[in-house]
Amino acid sequence: MSNFLLLPIIIPFFFGMLLMFAPKNIRYQRIGAMTGLTIALVTAIALLFKVKNEGIQVVTFGDWPAPFGITLVSDTVSALLVLTSVILAFFTVWYSISAIGKERESFFYYPGILFMLTGVNGAFTTGDIFNLFVFFEVLLMSSYLLIVLGGEKAQLRESIKYILVNVISSAIFVITVAFLYSVVGTLNMADIAVKIAAIGQPGIITVIAVLFLIVFGLKAAIFPLYFWLPSSYAAPPIPVLALFGALLTKVGVYAITRTYTLFFVHDTGFTHELLMILSVLTILAGCIGALAYFDVKKIIIYNIIIAVGVILFGVSQMNDNALMGSMFYLIHDMLIKAALFFLVGIIIAVTGTSDLRKMGGLMKTHPALGWFYLIAAFGLAGIPPLSGFVGKLLIVRGGFEAGNLGASIWILLSSLVVLLSVIRIFIYAFWGKEQGSLQQIDKGQYRMMFIPTAILVMLTVFYGVGSEWITPFMQDAANILNNPSVYTDAVLKE
Amino acid sequence: MEVIMAFVIGFLFMAAVYLMLSKSLLRIIIGTGLLSHGAHLLILTMGGLGGSAPPVLADGVTDMADAIPQALILTAIVISFGVTAFFLVLAYRAYQELGTDDMNLMRGTDEDDE
């Protein structure tokens, strides 16, 4: 059945619609969202193995031949990302049940998450540049709802800025697609790649490449364009923040990866050099922010920016090792960021504050939380048996192979800063004397928040320890990214 | 014809950027409206302004306008319409809650709320 790759997109959409019929029935909302995501999870796993066994899956709607209809393409890169997003949405909904509060649950919170997942999965799977824009808008519209839902003052204030930035970047996206259309005369991504290869990337295509970098860089928060992210992400409640931090910036990262490995590969001396410089600066900006704050949310938010820089550095190197490292690190980072936000959310719920200086002594009262936090923190920094290690190792190796010694060493040094920033949370919150009164959240609620978090942390540990099983998928993904012809042949042969 | 359109679109972008850099929230939203008008006109222009007939099948017509940019614009229009409606309601709510439409007064960190 060749329509199988549509299921991870359609199922969340369908369940999102079903949930809209009875917003006030919270039981129905919770069960419906969990059921939908479980089914989506099964199909996403099945899709990944199907892609692994049978090669790239392609569907062109309405039986039109490939460049004329809208094509959806599921290769290993997108199947891995789709699976990771569904896993994260699943854990976020599970965590939300006790963390988000009944008022939000009865005002289309779960449909918002499901529609956002529809947009994210669609953006990962599409093979049409304008369809990518439409899926971007689907996920952005849902994110507007989620960021402002609740209507607190900080949320209203920050969502205005968030929406403004995204409206502008969407307009630039439309403009860029218009320019690209006027040069190559097609919208199908594989066809664009072939046409650009045929004209050998003249100057105008390089300009379009930089415009795409601006558009997707605004979504992904790379160096000069990350200004909106720290304050916007601090506004919504923790489960929404976890979903945004894990998924939304990564869609931008994926879009940069796709366009820079499929379209703009003929003038890498300029475009990829630019991407490398920006990614190094992104890491620098993130490191400064991660060390500057005493607010637990802000520290992890700046760590998102660091990770975006690391992944894009790998993409800019354009060799097998670095691209494979980027894929490894991308999936790792999505999982670990969600886990860290969940853990930080529990810390905030227990202590009643997000200010590190007002915390202390949690190790005595919540030892399990402390140990899981420590594992997640080491995983983020890339201590060998844990999940962040393999990705960064391969990225640095790829950097050395491409001859960028200084930048690669800077990646390694940034790991120290990452470790320092998250260990500061551990030292302040878990060691020392108990400070102030602990917030009394009841045992049941604490357990409901802790169980999904603990499972997610264990999943990241498994991801690190079992990297040998995951390597074939990553090799496949790197092969597709490094050889655009694999992708274009799969799409255009039919 | 395309050159004239390019100038008009450039002027729209200039006005949009100017409005979006102002203090009042409503002027910013008007700026986003002009920005999307500019973007939509740009798609139309970049598709080429050739063709003497609308892209509808009819007897004896061979020189039709390019249909794809029109479909893209139609999609982009409804999307920007939805986003603008949401943005306007958000501005209204923010005015009710925060009591200001001056973007300079909407700064602040979480510490200010407590």
Q: What is the pLDDT of residues A256-287, one digit of tens each?
A: 999 999 999 998 899 999 999 999 999 999 99
Residues 6+ apart with CB under 8 A from B11: none
Of A50, A53, A41, A63, whose CA–CA distance to A4 is shortest? A50
Helix intervals (H) in A265-404: 268-292, 296-317, 320-351, 362-365, 367-381, 388-401
Tokens of A221: 């928060």
Phi-psi category of residue B108: left, alpha or beta, with phi > 0 → left and psi -120 to 50 → alpha:
left
Q: Does B42 touch chain A (CB under 8 A)?
A: yes
Of A232, A240, A20, A219, whose CA–CA distance to A149 is shortest? A240
Nearest to B32 among A161, A167, A234 (CB): A167
Nearest to B39 among A140, A171, A231 (CB): A171
Q: Is residue A212 exposed (0-12), middle (13-18) or buried (19+ Cβ within 10 Å)?
A: buried
Report DSSP letters for A94-136, one per residue.
Answer: HHHHHHT-HHHHTTTHHHHHHHHHHHHHHHHHB-BHHHHHHHH
What's this model's pTM, rounded to 2 decimal places?
Answer: 0.95
Q: Distances from the Cα of B21 to the Cαs of A154, A379, A387, B13, B76, in angstroms?
A: 22, 42, 43, 12, 24
Cα first-last separation, chain A: 16
ipTM of this complex: 0.95
- Checking if the pLDDT of B110 tops 60, the result is no
Q: How far is A299 from chain B (nearest CA, A)?
A: 14
Query: What is the model's pLDDT at position A494?
Result: 58
Query: What is the model's pLDDT at position A282?
Result: 96
CB B78 within 8 A of CB A158: no
Nearest to A153 among B87, B91, B97 (CB): B97
Q: How far is B61 from chain A (nearest CA, A)?
A: 22
Which DSSP state fits A246? I
Nearest to B98 among A134, A157, A354 (CB): A157
Query: What is the model's pLDDT at position B100?
Result: 86
Which DSSP state fits A437? P
Coil, helix or strand at residue A220: helix
Coil, helix or strand at residue B69: helix
Q: Using CB atoms and an 8 Å cut-off, which of residues 49-108 of chain B contact chain A?
A: 68-69, 72, 75-76, 79-80, 82-83, 86-87, 90-91, 93-94, 97-98, 106, 108
Q: Which residue of B has its CA nearest to A167?
A: B32
The reply to whether B36 falls in a domain is yes
CB B69 within 8 A of CB B105: no
Of A104, A231, A228, A250, whose CA–CA distance to A169 is shortest? A228
Any idea what the Cα angle at residue A286 is, between residues A376 and A449, rounded to 5°?
A: 30
Contact A141 B75 (CB under 8 A): no
Q: How far is A153 from chain B (nearest CA, A)?
A: 7
Coil, helix or strand at residue A346: helix
Number of domains in chain B: 1
Tokens of A3: 């329509």
Instruction: Tell the residue number behind the tokens 């200004």, with chain if given.
Output: A227
Mean pLDDT by 10 residues, chain A (494 residues): 87 96 94 96 96 92 88 94 97 94 92 96 95 96 94 91 95 96 94 93 93 95 92 93 94 95 91 95 95 93 96 94 95 96 93 87 90 95 90 95 93 94 93 74 87 96 92 94 92 80
The reply to whether B113 falls in a domain is no
What span, in angstroms and rounded, lies between the C-alpha atoms of B114 and B111?
Answer: 6
Which DSSP state fits A57? E
Which chain B residues contact residue A295 at CB under 8 A? 110
Which chain B residues contact residue A187 at CB under 8 A? 68
Which chain B residues contact residue A289 at CB under 8 A? none
Contact B39 A168 (CB under 8 A): no
The reply to whether B56 falls in a domain is no
- Checking if the pLDDT of B114 tops 50, the result is no
Tokens of A101: 């509060």
Task: List the domain range (segments joined by +) for residue B86.
Answer: 2-48+66-101
The reply to whether B74 falls in a domain is yes
Q: Which residue of A has its CA nearest to B75?
A: A134
Contact B87 A167 (CB under 8 A): yes
CB B35 within 8 A of CB A168: yes
Nearest to A154 among B82, B90, B110 (CB): B110
Which chain B residues contact residue A231 at CB under 8 A? 109
Which chain B residues contact residue A177 at CB under 8 A? 43, 72
The reply to whether B97 falls in a domain is yes
Query: What is the model's pLDDT at position B1?
Result: 87
CB A6 within 8 A of CB A118: no
The reply to whether B60 falls in a domain is no
Contact B48 A174 (CB under 8 A): no
Q: Which residue of B has its CA nearest to A172?
A: B39
Nearest to A182 among B47, B76, B106 (CB): B47
Q: Which residue of B has its CA nearest to A137?
A: B79
Helix intervals (H) in A185-267: 189-199, 203-220, 229-234, 238-243, 249-262
What span, in angstroms and rounded, lies between the C-alpha atoms of A216 and A222?
Answer: 9
Of A101, A144, A103, A141, whose CA–CA distance to A122 is shortest? A141
CATH code of the domain containing B23: 1.10.287
The reply to whether B35 falls in a domain is yes
The reply to whether B94 falls in a domain is yes
Interface mutation vs chain B, best among A61, A170, A357, most B CBs within 10 Å: A170
Q: How far is B23 from chain A (nearest CA, A)?
A: 13
